[in-house]
Structure 1
């Protein structure tokens, strides 16, 4: 997530520069046909291009609205996890008069958060994080889950026997919650947690299962491919046809301009077609980079920072004095 005032224009131009190179050649080709080859009849009527541009604007706007909704949903889910986790820490300490068991429940919950965020940072074939423009931009920020393996992150919170069970499990987050439920049941049977408290803690575990399922659904259900593909086709078709639609109109300006521009106005098609096409291409690229809010791109939900925040707060609740440091943004980006 970018936490600065805004992206700089230079950053944006660098991020989109590969498409800008393509747009230059798409603008150059019709001008060469028109001016050098003399095929001035080979153009597209402007109303056709305008209609295509309008349709493309609708598809781009629809996609960006939907991808923003996915990002906002991811933020809402993790905001809920933030509140639930704080309450879990509170009841784990207040319900149980045994600091060892309280620490066990809190640390296991931190292990659940760790396993969940590592799962959400895994790659999916439909994600855009490995595309060249996004991969190159990763040099400007850190993805904490790529800095050290999951086993190292879990070892901080789980004993060796539980760590082995969790790492062998297909659903590591679910296994950790199952261990939480087993511990809470054991505390109830030993009389350390009375029935109403036991019910409240089991309800909390159920809520964590629900939050995990929402994260899994958002992670493993991509933005519908049919909409993504048609949006991509529309945008590039418009970018291809636009210079064919405006080259004739710019050529007509030769009748009203004076030297030294007279006779060369058709070449102005290139910068203007690039500018208009760049706006459409950039909006499409922004929508693509927003549709998967957990993949590890610069615009993702900062689940690593939120998990570290909970790590600090919950351990502070336990009375610990040696606390981890907050994650710091790099180039105004924090994950």
Structure 2
């Protein structure tokens, strides 16, 4: 999914150029056959167009509603992970002290322990990010030539480095 607040006309033309070419050529062929050659049987009655258009509008409306519901649920879950990660880090940094210990350790050891805990949590988040970007067997977006072109243009970091390479920074 490519989400952006604004799309330029050039971006939309680049994204839909194959379909646009096809429909322009198809429209020209049908128009020439109907208007110039005189094939009147190509004429479609308005009733059929209205019926099919209404059905398609309902299907697209239901599909868009379902997609928005899944997107909203995913945003809530991701927001929960972000908030819990912040709280975990704050608690780890504030609560790991020598206050209730029987054998106090130095400040450098406490700082190193805090850093280790926070970095392991960041490593978990990195592993989660890579797991979410793994290609699922039911996903077909890379088969289409246009979609693979967009994947290459978007610069997805999880496709450019492995999980092991990214985890080296945190573990």
TM-score by length of 2: 0.80
Per-residue deviation, residues 218-262 of structure 1 (Å, max 9, x unmatched): xxxxxxxxxxxxxxxxxxxxxxxxxxxxxxxxxxxxxxxxxxxxx
1:210-289 pair list within 5 angstroms: none
Report how far residue 132 of structure 1 moved. Answer: 2.3
Tell me which residue corresponds to 2:130: 118
Structure number with the bigger relative contact order (C-alpha 8 A, sep ≥ 6) is 1
User: Residues of 1 paired with 2:80 and 2:49: CA distance?
Assistant: 46
1:1-335 pair list within 5 angstroms: 2=3, 5-97=5-97, 98-127=110-139, 129-130=141-142, 131-158=144-171
**Helix, strand or coil: the match of 1:6?**
coil
User: Residues of 2 paired with 1:58 and 1:13: CA distance?
Assistant: 27
Query: How many residues align structurally?
Result: 157
User: Residues of 2 paired with 1:118 and 1:100: CA distance?
Assistant: 26
User: Residues of 2 paired with 1:51 and 1:12: CA distance?
Assistant: 29
Per-residue deviation, residues 84-120 of structure 1 (Å, max 9, x unmatched): 0011111112222233332222111111101110011
Report how far residue 128 of structure 1 moved. Answer: 5.0
User: Residues of 2 paired with 1:11 and 1:149: CA distance?
Assistant: 30
CA contact 1:129–1:135 (8 Å) conserved in 2: yes
Tell me which residue corresponds to 1:174: none
User: Residues of 1 paired with 2:65 and 2:168: CA distance?
Assistant: 40
User: Residues of 2 paired with 1:157 and 1:2: CA distance?
Assistant: 29
**Which moves more between the two structures, 77-86 or 19-28?**
19-28
CA contact 1:128–1:134 (8 Å) conserved in 2: no
User: Residues of 1 paired with 2:49 and 2:138: CA distance?
Assistant: 31
Q: CA RMSD in A?
A: 2.1
**Helix, strand or coil: the match of 2:40?**
coil
CA contact 1:108–1:157 (8 Å) conserved in 2: yes
Report how far residue 36 of structure 1 moved. Answer: 4.5
Report how far residue 58 of structure 1 moved. Answer: 1.3
User: Residues of 2 paired with 1:72 and 1:13: CA distance?
Assistant: 29
User: Residues of 2 paired with 1:139 and 1:25: CA distance?
Assistant: 29
Per-residue deviation, residues 270-298 of structure 1 (Å, max 9, x unmatched): xxxxxxxxxxxxxxxxxxxxxxxxxxxxx
Report how far residue 53 of structure 1 moved. Answer: 0.9
Per-residue deviation, residues 29-81 of structure 1 (Å, max 9, x unmatched): 43243234432133221111111111111111221222122222222211111
